[in-house]
Amino acid sequence: MARKSITGLSERKGIWHIDKKINGERLYESTGTGDREEAERYLIYRLEQIRQQKVYGVKKVRIWREAATRFLLEFKDQPSIKLSAHHLSQLDPFIGDMPLTHIDDQALVPFIKDRLATKKLEGGKVKKGVSNRTVNISIERVVRVLSLCARKWRDDERRPWLDSVPMLTKLEEKKSSRKPYPMSWPEQSILLESCRRTCRRWRCSK
């Protein structure tokens, strides 16, 4: 007799995702694998987790998108929130459906490779990858959100969303920084004019 497949799994871009209703609540997240059997085992594991949450009050496993959304809402009045939203939106396709407990250096590898890669655009144009510094800003946002999950945010039972913050490795910035070069005459003129304006403002303020 053929083995009956578990319902609630759908494949998108080679990765199996869970989309299943349990006791009126929707479970929607990535399994992180393209292997059907492994995805089914992960789904069974998540269903058991949810059962234990209901029966024994075991802590809920939250996904990255839930934490990122709370961060944006909670700090919406910060001057840098637009920059944070920009970096979090770029992270979402890679770790949005991932449980917070699964976010580590390995989980960020696909995101980092994508951001650093040079891409060919329509019309033959080429878009260079971002600098290591730009990638590090995104990693810093991940650390910030995970720190809030571990140190500030609590569930209904006063338990932290995350037990501990992983040590995330940032990229070497010196290797990707632009090398010094002699300034052209137009660049020198712009710099000198900027210095003159700064001096004038400083004198007027005295």
Query: What pLDDT does 2 receive?
Result: 44
14 pLDDT band, cuts 50/70/90, is confident
Is the CB of residue 135 less than 8 Å from the CB of residue 112? yes
Cα–Cα dist 192/86, whole Å: 34
Q: Token match 């949450």: residue?
A: 53
Q: Could you tell me which residue, 5 or 67, shows the higher pLDDT?
A: 67
1 pLDDT band, cuts 50/70/90, is very low
Cα–Cα dist 110/94, whole Å: 7
> Residue 49 above 50 pLDDT?
yes
What does the pLDDT look like over 103-158, one tens digit per residue?
Answer: 999 999 999 999 999 888 777 788 889 999 999 999 999 999 999 999 999 987 78
Query: What pLDDT does 56 receive?
Result: 58
Helices (H), 33-104: 36-56, 64-74, 81-95
Query: What pLDDT does 6 receive?
Result: 79
Enclosing H/E stretch for 138 = helix 132-151
Enclosing H/E stretch for 34 = none
The chain-wide mean pLDDT, for the chain, equals 84
Q: Could you tell me which residue, 6 or 91, shows the higher pLDDT?
A: 91
Query: What pLDDT does 201 receive?
Result: 55
User: Of the candidates 107, 85, 106, 87, which has an alpha carbon nearest to the alpha carbon of residue 98?
Assistant: 107
Backbone angles phi, psi at 184, to 5 degrees: -75, 165
Cα–Cα dist 71/170, whole Å: 21
